[in-house]
Amino acid sequence: MPNALAQEKSPYLLQHADNPVAWLPWGEAAFARARAEQKPIFLSIGYSTCHWCHVMAHESFEDEAIAALLNMHFIPVKVDREERPDVDKVYMAYVQAMTGRGGWPLSAWLTPELKPFFGGTYFPPDDRQGRAGFPSLLRAIAGGWANERDKLVAEGERVLSALRGHQDGVAQDDDGSGGKPLIEAAGTAFEQGFQYFFEAFDPAHAGFGGAPKFPRASNLAFLFRIAALQGADSELGREAVKLAGATLRAMARGGIHDHVGGGFHRYSVDEGWFVPHFEKMLYDQAQIAVNCLEAKQATGDERFAWMARDIFGYVARDLTDPAGGFHTAEDADSAVAAGAAEHAEGAFYVWTEGELRSLLGDDFGFAAAHFGVKPDGNVPENLDPQGELRGKNILAMPRGLAETARQFRLEPEAANDRLLAILAQLRTARAGRPRPLRDDKVVTANNGLMISALAKAHQILGGGADEPLAYLAAATRAAEFVERELSDPATGTLFRVWRQGRGTAPGFAEDYAYLIQGLLDLYEAGFEIRWLQWAVRLQATMDAVFWDAARGGYFNSAAEAADIVLRLKEDYDGAEPAPSSVAALNLLRLAAVFEGERADGYRGRGVRCIEAFRAQWTRAPHAMPQLLCALESALESPRHVVLAGDPAAPDFRALAAVLHERLGPRRALLAADGGAGQRWLAERAPWIAPMAPRSGLATAYVCEDFTCQAPATSPAELRRQLGG
């Protein structure tokens, strides 16, 4: 008989609806039952595409005996971390503080008042090598709750107090900058941040550090920002671009890249980007695409443009909802064959030599040479501890196409055509396999990131005349979806998720920060004033709900959230950037348009947001590379380019294209369209009012510190004014 999760919409919660565990969703019903029965809560947090979540579910949560232990002694509660990131971050902080590590599935035991007193991640179903298995642990905790409850409750209080003290003390700690002005502290942080990545760079495989290797996009964003500020042709700029570009190229060659279907897997378990953890996340696709677009700007290398198009093609085909929003992820696991009960990680993506030989015929030799295919599989045993990839081949490119072309005596263009035909065959064949589960919920934050990426693609990718417009159309459809389905215009608030209807969880700080960023980018791509207007309204809501008036920065959750025992502020740019890191730049971008130096306005709040984390970014600049990217706008005079004319006209678009040919300093981009948009802007920034086309031609006004150069009506003149 299904448990209470059968009434939920989350794919992750629905995966557990038929467990014998009497799961309850996170909420007052579960809390009230824990209080009434005076039982601890067992909290299990994961997400639908999490491999080890599946493993623990199969080993423990589907086991009748283990379920009986859970149901007898605890109130079992399941949380989808993508629906409730605020809950996840509180208890992840606890587990990391207690054990020194974290991850999913996250397992925590709470008092009925939601205070944690024990936790960990994955637990095996039996005792192994001196480590207690899950049933033994459940019995021990149940015994402790019955006989030493006061000690457990006191432990929960102690750890929460320590976490609260750490949170409160971050802004007050000596940051080691000796009270330097922001500009001096920022300069030191930039130097130390670059030095960290320079020294951590892996010269053999690219990327930073050793295994496992994650495509942490904020690292590359920081390096490209250095190149933009120093000049891509300067010594430091060239080195920054070299590190970032080499990392992207290595990722594109490796097994972390889905060569057949496009896009990138979550991370590689080895240092060479070869064996991936096969899940694919929307937030990775969006951020890696932006890295590729900036690499294209920095180098002019069309290979980076191809990488971005590869990602956008995958997202359009496999992660786009018919209504316009973008789905969250695809699982790593799938059935090993049609109708098979057995599932394995990577089953959808890997190939035996026999499969490839049979499918490709005369093209097999070319494909095998290019992708490193071996008769007995190409995955070393030490990288396949579960044995799921034995005899299988992960497609990767151990060498360039030019080398393969020489081996087969082909011209480069002919080799490329042959490779594309092979990939098309493989894509068709793979489509007949059982697909991994797609988590089809639409998350506001992730959609904000994808809107940004598509808006930038419209700006940067030339291609055919229709290509950039297709990216702009996709970004616009997604923004309209979020506006229609995930926002409440009456209150100005956002909701977190949509799946077969709007979810109940409110939007969190990351939802606001990422979406505001996306709307600012969307305005600068298509110049529809509605997106800038909405960004302004959302920023006001974000400030009202999440801003820390005492110390600066943004909390993850709202003050009135009764089910959150500790309000946290993110101080690390990980797989996704901290909300405050993104919000700081959003504020400074708004300040560049609407105000000067007012301390109580956007600029003052943006600077204070940066200062709130000074202790972190001065001690460990590499921990907050995304926040460092905002420092440029905090320290330099605002720069603007106002384009006067019809944004849909070819001459206007020709001028706009010049603005994105190269990496450079940040500029606020505005349209003086002669209509409602310009009137709205002029009410808030009067200096825009007189700007108009010259001689009937679209005209660019390049301004710095509110002083403008002579109007430019040709791409060549605009390029000259920008220093091109």
Can you say how many angstroms the Cα of residue 446 is from the centroid of all Cα atoms in its chain?
Answer: 7
- Let me know: does 350 contact 396? Beta carbons within 8 Å: no
Does position 642 have pLDDT exceeding 60, yes or no?
Answer: yes
Would you say 55 and 104 are in contact if contact means Cβ atoms under 8 Å apart?
no
User: How many angstroms separate the CA atoms of 667 and 526, rounded?
Assistant: 16
Q: Can you tell me which residue has the tokens 């996709």?
A: 474
Torsion of CA 323, 325, 330, 335, to 10 degrees: -10
Q: For position 465, what pLDDT does the model report?
A: 60
Cα(285)–Cα(453) distance, rounded to whole angstroms? 9
Question: CB–CB of 48/80 below 8 Å?
Answer: yes
Check which CATH number belongs to the domain holding 699 and give it: 3.40.30
Distance (Å, whole) CA 218 – CA 577 = 7
Angstrom distances, CA of residue 344 to CA of 95, 153, 371, 492, 700 = 28, 41, 22, 44, 56
705 within a domain of the structure (yes/no): yes
What are the structure tokens assigned to 357, written together? 């030989």
Whole-number percent of the chain with pLDDT over 90 = 90
The pair of three-digit structure tokens given for residue 177, joined into one six-digit string: 């900058």
The answer to whether the CB of 245 falls within 8 A of the CB of 307 is no
Here the tokens at position 418 are 């042959």
User: In DSSP terms, which residues pair with 644 in a beta bridge?
Assistant: 672, 699
Domain-located, residue 58: yes
Q: Say what the pLDDT of residue 596 is.
A: 56
Average pLDDT, the chain: 94
DSSP 507: P
Instruction: Answer for the pair 243, 197: CB distance below 8 angstroms, yes or no.
Output: yes
Band of pLDDT at residue 170, cut at 50, 70 and 90: low
Sheet containing strand 699-704, edge to edge, reads 668-672, 639-644, 699-704, 707-708
For residue 17, is it within any domain? yes
- In this predicted structure, the answer to whether residue 653 has a pLDDT above a threshold of 80 is yes
CB of 54 within 8 A of CB of 100?
no
Q: Is residue 554 part of a domain?
A: no
What's phi and psi for 658, nearest 5 deg?
A: -60, -35
pLDDT tops 60 at residue 623: yes
Residue type present at position 129: Q
Residue 693 included in any domain: yes
Measured CA to CA, the distance from residue 299 to residue 240 in angstroms comes to 12
Indicate the pLDDT class of residue 156, thresholds 50, 70 and 90: confident
pLDDT tens for 498-534 read 999 999 999 999 999 999 999 999 999 999 999 999 9
Label residue 630 by pLDDT band (50, 70, 90). Answer: very high
Tokens (6 digits) for 11: 């794919």
Tell me the β-bridge partners of 120. Answer: 107
Stretch 200-213: mean pLDDT, rounded? 97
List, as one string, the DSSP characters of 694-708.
BTTB-EEEEEETTEE
Cα–Cα distance measured from residue 39 to residue 31, given in angstroms and rounded to the nearest whole number: 10
Is 656 inside a domain boundary? Answer: yes
State the pLDDT at residue 166.
75
Query: What is the mean pLDDT of the segment spanning 363-372?
Result: 98
pLDDT top residue among 165 and 684: 684
* 375 DSSP 8-state letter: T
Single-letter amino acid, residue 155 = E
Which long-range contacts does 684-692 make (Cβ < 8 Å, 24+ apart)?
A: 684/593, 684/594, 685/593, 685/594, 688/642, 691/642, 691/644, 692/644
231 token code pair: 């000049």
The secondary element (H helix, E strand) that includes residue 503 is none
Amino acid (1-letter code) at residue 63? D
Least confident span in 110-124, 353-367, 584-598:
584-598
- State the Cα–Cα distance between residues 266 and 190, nearest whole angstrom: 28
Among candidate residues 494, 479, 602, the one with its CA nearest the CA of residue 547:
602
Q: Indicate whether 372 belongs to any domain.
A: yes
Phi/psi at 358 (5° precision): -65, -40
Closest CA to 374 of 392, 401, 350, 400: 392
Global pTM value: 0.96
| Length of the chain, in residues | 724
Question: What CA–CA distance (Å, rounded) separates 351 from 361?
Answer: 15
pLDDT digits (tens, 9 = 90+) for 238-262: 999 999 999 999 999 999 999 999 9
Q: Give the number of other Cβ atoms within 10 Å of residue 594's Cβ.
A: 17
Runs of H (alpha helix) within 77-129:
85-99
Q: Say if CB 256 and CB 268 are below 8 A apart.
A: yes
Domain assignment of residue 413, given as a range: 349-432
* Cβ burial 232-263 (10 Å sphere, 16+ → b, else e): beeebbbbbbbbbbbbbbbbbbbbbbbbbbbb
In a domain, 214, yes or no: no
Looking up tokens 């077969």 gives: 500
Looking up residue 72, the CATH number of its domain turns out to be: 3.40.30.10
Stated as kind and residue range, the H or E segment containing 344 is strand 343-345
Question: Residue 650 corresponds to which tokens in the numbers above?
Answer: 């070819």
Tokens of 36: 């009434």
Q: What is the pLDDT of residues 453-465, one digit of tens each?
A: 999 999 999 755 6
Mean pLDDT of 204-217: 96
**How far is residue 423's CA from residue 417's CA, in Å, rounded to a whole number?**
10
Of 6, 36, 40, 45, the residue nearest 22 (C-alpha)? 6
Least confident piece of the model among 104-118, 350-364, 550-564, 697-711? 697-711
- The closest alpha carbon to 368, from 346, 344, 399, belongs to 399
Of the three residues 170, 202, 220, the one that is the final residue of a domain is 170
Task: Write the DSSP assignment of 646-710 as a string of letters.
Answer: -TTSHHHHHHHHHTTSS--S--EEEEE-SSHHHHHHHHH-GGGTT---BTTB-EEEEEETTEE--
Task: Tell which wins on pLDDT, 179 or 317.
Answer: 317
Backbone angles phi, psi at 145, to 5 degrees: -65, -35
Task: Quote the CA–CA distance of 327 and 342 in Å, as a whole number.
Answer: 26
Q: Which residues contact 25 (CB under 8 A, 6 or more apart)?
A: 4, 5, 8, 13, 77, 78, 79
Please answer whether residues 677 and 614 qualify as being in contact, where contact means their C-beta atoms are separated by less than 8 angstroms. no
**Whether pLDDT at 398 is above 90:** yes
Which of 117, 146, 170 is the last residue before a domain boundary? 170
Give counts: helices (H), strands (E), the chain: 27, 20
Last residue within a domain, chosen from 400, 432, 464: 432
pLDDT at site 461 = 95
Q: Alpha-carbon distance 377 to 354, whole Å? A: 10
> Radius of gyration (Cα) for the chain, nearest Å?
26
Collapsing DSSP to helix, strand or coil, 30 comes out as: helix
- Please state the domain count of the chain: 3
Q: Would you say residue 696 has pLDDT above 90? A: yes
Distance CA 436, CA 267 (A): 17
Give the DSSP letter string of 425-474.
Answer: HHHHHHTTSPPPPEE--EEHHHHHHHHHHHHHHHHH--SSTTHHHHHHHH
